[in-house]
Structure 1
Amino acid sequence: MALALHGITARFGGLVALDDVSMRVPPGRIVGVIGPNGAGKTTLFNVVCGFVTPSAGSLTLDGAPLRPKPHRLTALGIARTLQGVGLFDGLTVLENVMAGASHTAQAGFVPALLGLPGSDRDERRLRDLAMECLTEVGAAEHAAAAPATLPYAVRKRVALARALAARPRLLLLDEPAGGLSAEEVQELGRFIKDRKIAVVLVEHHMDLVMAVCDEIVVLDFGRVVAAGTPDEIRDNPAVAEAYLGAEVTTVDAETPA
């Protein structure tokens, strides 16, 4: 799946949150979006997800015009995680992840969850898929737990499993390393690289960004100020000084700590 943004501008009153932003996410590639707080990173995600309608510009998906609607994202093959975890406290971990794949249920998620007539097959399939995703992220042992009882790092894993349950071709990760330890960040990096799907990663942990991204887009005050490979971004004096500091230590996402 190829996602492209063409001259996207987003305004909120007199505030320009995105200013003529263009970028492309090729199939199977990992594109990082970095910049200081207020640079427009989350607004960019909200435009892709249909929560914000741009005042100018357009989006395409696989070359076709894209006018995203939040409730249609999973059907388009797009899934997103939030800066927080965004889990449903009234559901178990397993049920939370099942909700991520509800668009594939022929009988619907609620009938499957409640075990209504005709939903048994859907319910079994959703549970099997949810357990598979929880196993992928290393959280299967918490399937029956209430999210609120789990450590923050585990809840982040569950949120990631829920996104993966949609079986997306494009995964939008909004600060997935927030609140994780250095070892957990390295593990997350290995996991992201192993997905083999298109990923857009918004993240402040520069070691993770440098380790996993094929390309990095730098935003400042809503504008793209630099774009290129991690090496090109690292060697850009203006970017290094403004966003990365004097030195950037690259962590090999494929090498265990």
Structure 2
Amino acid sequence: MERGLELHHIGVRFGGLTALDDVSLQVPPNQVVGVIGPNGAGKTTLFNVICGFVAPQTGALTLDGRPLRPRPHQLTRLGIARTLQGTGLFAGLTVLENVMTGAAHTAHAGFVSALLGLPASDRDERRLRRQALDILDDLGIADHAEAAPTTLPFAVRQRVALARALAARPRLLLLDEPAGGLGGDDIAGLAELVRQLPRRDTDPCAVLLVEHHMDLVMAVCDDIVVLDFGRVIATGAPDTIRDDPAVTDAYLGAAVDSDVA
């Protein structure tokens, strides 16, 4: 039975600093789950635990009820993909080639075949190219396939980074501040894309989203987890979180105060 990703009572300390304290959450299949909280709440540490960059001192992770001990280089084989803050694209590759790198782990031909240009390697490249073009088309940026990423607007580069993550055909996509640097229209377009990811006819995926833009979080998430000082202070649907006094005090109220200032 598919239960998705679950974190059970995760605790992380860095010296005398508690980054995460008894954090539990679930990302069920075919849902978008958001993680919000003030700066320093533990959101980045949470992502790093899931990706295997940080090992928790307490608690455990499971995937479909089975123990999960993630390693960064094994994430794609586990069905997990992650976008980075910024874009992290390879400047020396075209848009199409960048997206193809996201699916490189699915190539059947080995290094020697690729080096010698053997038929198996050619078949892999054609297959990966077709898949990458299909994803670019789905995201509305296929016209930029042969462009260098550095020549494109930031909003388009963000979509290229998303396309590269989707090329891995993940069951779970981790989105780390995907709206950073985007304007209002671009955020609305991103929201539409994220909403559709669990509902795609081909390769649907659950999404775990860390984001500061509350309009995006409220528009796309099925459930939201709120962190403050490394602890979960609220979990629920967007309307529930919006009306929660503890969330208002810890996060939303602070954002309003900063806007007024």
TM-score, structure 2 length as denominator? Answer: 0.90
> 1:222-249 CA distances to partner (integer Å, 9 max, x unpaired)?
111111111111111121233123999x
Structure with the largest fraction of helix = 2
Decide whether the 8 Å contact of 2:32 with 2:207 is kept in 1. yes
SS of corresponding position for 2:109: coil
Amino acid of the structure 1 residue aligned with 2:230: G
Amino acid at match of 2:117: L
Aligned partner of 2:25 among 23, 29, 48: 23
**Given the superposition, is the C-alpha separation of residues 10 and 140 from structure 1 closer, same or farther in structure 2, using an over 3 Å criterion?**
same
Taking a change above 3 Å as real, the CA distance of residues 230 and 111 of structure 1, as seen in their structure-2 partners, is farther
- Give the AA of the match of 1:203: E
- Equivalent of 1:12, from 11, 14, 39? 14
What residue identity is the alignment partner of 2:207?
Answer: V
Change (3 A) 1:202 1:108: farther
Partner of 1:116: 117
How far the C-alpha of 1:198 sits from its partner, in A, is 1.0
Matches within 5 A, 1:58-207: 58-108=60-110, 112=114, 116-117=117-118, 118-196=120-198, 197-207=205-215
Q: How far apart are 1:188 and its partner, in Å?
A: 1.0
Query: Which of the numbers 216, 219, 223 marks the counterpart of 1:215?
Result: 223
Distance across 2 between alignment mates of 1:50 and 1:4: 14
TM-score (norm 1): 0.91
Distance in 2 separating the partners of 1:222 and 1:74:
27
Cα distance in 1 between the residues matched to 2:187 and 2:222: 18
What SS does the aligned partner of 1:91 have? coil
State the match for 2:244 in structure 1: 236
> Which amino acid is the alignment partner of residue 64 of structure 1?
R
Q: Provide the rounded CA distance (Å) in 2 between the counterparts of 1:140 and 1:115.
A: 30
Task: Find the residue that maps to 1:128 and give its secondary structure.
Answer: helix
* Paired amino acid for 1:72: Q
> CA, structure 1 residues 115+169, in 2 after alignment: closer, same or farther (shift >3 Å)?
farther
Distance 1:159 1:44, change over 3 A: same
The 10-residue stretch of structure 1 (55-64 or 141-150) with the greater mean CA deviation from structure 2? 141-150
The 1:110/1:216 distance shift into structure 2, 3 A limit, reads farther
User: Once superposed, what is the RMSD of the aligned Cα atoms?
Assistant: 1.8
Q: Deviations over 1:151-181 (max 9, x none)?
A: 1111111000000001111111001111111
2:201 is matched with: none
Distance in 1 (CA, whole Å) between partners of 2:241 and 2:116 is 52
Partner of 2:50: 48
**Count of aligned pairs:** 247
Q: Distance in 2 between matches of 1:39 and 1:109?
A: 43
Q: Which amino acid aligns with 1:230?
A: P
Contact 1:102 1:109 (8 Å CA) reproduced: no
Against the structure 1 CA distance between its residues 174 and 129, is the aligned structure 2 distance closer, same or farther, given a 3 Å change threshold?
Answer: same
Query: Match of 1:18, SS?
Result: strand
CA contact under 8 A between 1:99 and 1:109: conserved in structure 2?
Answer: no
Counterpart amino acid of residue 132 in structure 2: A
Displacement, 1:66?
0.1
Counterpart residue type for residue 223 of structure 1 = R
Q: Give the AA of the match of 1:14.
A: G
CA distance in 2, matches of 1:170, 1:27: 8
Q: Deviations over 1:61-100 (max 9, x none)?
A: 0100000011111111111101111111121111110010
Distance across 2 between alignment mates of 1:110 and 1:203? 42
| Alignment CA distance shift 1:246-1:47 (3 Å) | closer
Identity of aligned residues (%): 71
What SS is found at the alignment partner of 2:191?
Answer: helix
Distance in 2 (CA, whole Å) between partners of 1:37 and 1:18 is 13
